[in-house]
Amino acid sequence: MSIRSNPFKTGTIAEPRVPRTNEVITMSIHEVFAYLRVKNAPAAIEFYKAAFGAKEKFRLAEPSGRVGHCELDFCGTTIMLSEEYPELGIQGPQTLGGTSVGIHLHVDDADATIRSAVAAGAKVVREPQNHFYGERSGTIRDPFGHDWLIGHNLEELTPDEMQRRYTEIMKDSK
């Protein structure tokens, strides 16, 4: 394994090893973060604070004010965001004309959280309703083009019971 310098971190890091044919390299994933790309990151940060009670952990800003990185704490879960960087191919939903990703927030009260997001400037995509999988949820689109599925638990179900209910619904929809 060769060692190379990392310009963003002191010390060195090991380059990834390329597996030989039919060889599996086991890895350990420590965390997964959603990383949002937005136009007007300062406004987005303020929206997420107002809509969801997010707390800003820190941000890195260029001298021009463009936010290169920000971490927000959503009650123990980190969501990262940055401005668009078109020169690097980094674009948000507003530039791309939509998003193919939804972020699911599991909360104590979906209706209240959706009302809070709407009061902060979000649009309702789907009103909250009870679902076969034991959750009440709805969807909002934030002012920056990201979709948020917001739900709370109604009942604990096994995967088998969810599948049974789903199959039943799909039979009825034909």
Of residues 31 and 72, more confidence is placed in 72
Assigned domain for 155 exists: yes
- Residue 146: the pLDDT is 96
Assigned domain for 74 exists: yes
Assigned domain for 139 exists: yes
Assigned domain for 26 exists: no
Give helix 41-52 / helix 110-119 axis angle, nearest 10°.
140
- pLDDT mean across residues, the chain: 89
Chain segment 69-120, per-residue pLDDT in tens: 999 999 999 999 999 999 999 999 999 999 989 999 999 999 999 999 999 9
Assigned domain for 4 exists: no
Say if residues 140 and 160 touch (Cβ distance below 8 Å).
no
The pTM of this model reads: 0.80
Assigned domain for 21 exists: no
From 127, 132, 133, select the one nearest 150 (Cα to Cα): 127
Tell me what the mean pLDDT of segment 150-169 comes to: 94
Assigned domain for 8 exists: no
What token pair was written down for 162?
């969810």
* Number of residues that this document lists for the chain: 174
- Residue 29: the pLDDT is 79
pLDDT band at 8 (very low <50, low <70, confident <90, very high): very low
What token pair was written down for 53?
């009670």
What's the CA gap between 124 and 104, in Å, rounded?
14
CATH at residue 110: 3.10.180.10
Judged against a pLDDT cut of 90, whether residue 127 lies above it is answered with yes
Number of domains in the chain: 1
Assigned domain for 10 exists: no
| Domain coverage including residue 84 | 31-172
